[in-house]
Structure 1
C-alpha cells in the first residue's frame, strides 16, 4: 500500500471522477482505518484498526464491490460531516442514469476520506 496518493481535495475529486482505481480507493480507506499489510508475515496486521472494524473485518473489505462494509463506513461518518462533498467541494452528485452502486460507493468512500481529512 505504499505510493498511495496524498489524501487531499484533488484526490477526493479524482475518486469522484473515476480517475483513481477502485483498488487504490480501497487502499486509502484501509490505511486510514489502520489496516497494515505485514509483508514478512504475508498477513494483515489489525492491531491498529479503529473501533470494531478489525473484529467485523479481519481482512480489509472491498468497499466498492460490497454494500455491507460501505453501509458501516457511511454510519461511521460523523453527522456534521455527512454533507462535506457538497459543502466543501461543491459536488452536486451524479446525474440520473449516469451512476450505479459502484459510483455511489465511490462517493461514500470519498466522503468518508474527506471527513477523515477534516478530523485528523
Structure 2
C-alpha cells in the first residue's frame, strides 16, 4: 500500500475537489477508524477499531459502494461537527445534476474526516 497523505484541510478539500482518488480516500478513512492491514498475515487488524465498527465491519467497508456503511459513518459524526464542511471549507453542497451516490458519499467521508480532526485537536473549531 502506498503512503497516505497527511490529514489536513487541504487533503479534505481534495476529497471534495476529486483530486484525491477513491482508493486513497477509503484507506485514509479506514486508517482513522482504526483499521490496519497486516501484510504478513494478509488480514485486517481491528484492535484499534471501535466495537460497533468491528462487529458490523470486520473488514473495512467500501463506503462509496455501500450505502449502509456510509449511513453509519454519517451517524458517527457528533452533532457539533455536522456542519464542518460548510464552516471550514465553504462547501455549499452539490447541484441537482451532481447528486450522485459517489459524490455524496465522498462528501460524507470528507465530513467525517473533518469531524475526526476536530475531535483530535487537529482543527480549530
Alignment TM-score > 0.5, same fold: yes
Q: Match for residue 95 of structure 2?
A: 95
Over the aligned positions, Cα root-mean-square deviation in angstroms equals 1.0
Matches of 1:2 and 1:51 in 2, distance apart? 27
5+ long unaligned stretches in structure 1: none
Shift in Å at residue 113 of structure 1? 0.1
1:13-33 Cα shifts (integer Å, max 9, x gaps): 100011111111111110001
CA distance in 2, matches of 1:7, 1:29: 10
Partner Cα separation in structure 2 for residue 77 and residue 2 of structure 1: 27
Structure 2: tracts of 5 or more residues without a match = 121-125
Runs of 4+ in 1 over 6 A off after TM superposition: none
Higher RCO structure, 1 or 2 (CA under 8 Å, sep 6+) = 1
Q: For 1:88 and 1:73, how far apart are their aligned partners in 2?
A: 19
1:112 paired with 2:112, answer yes
Q: Does 1:21 align with 2:45?
A: no
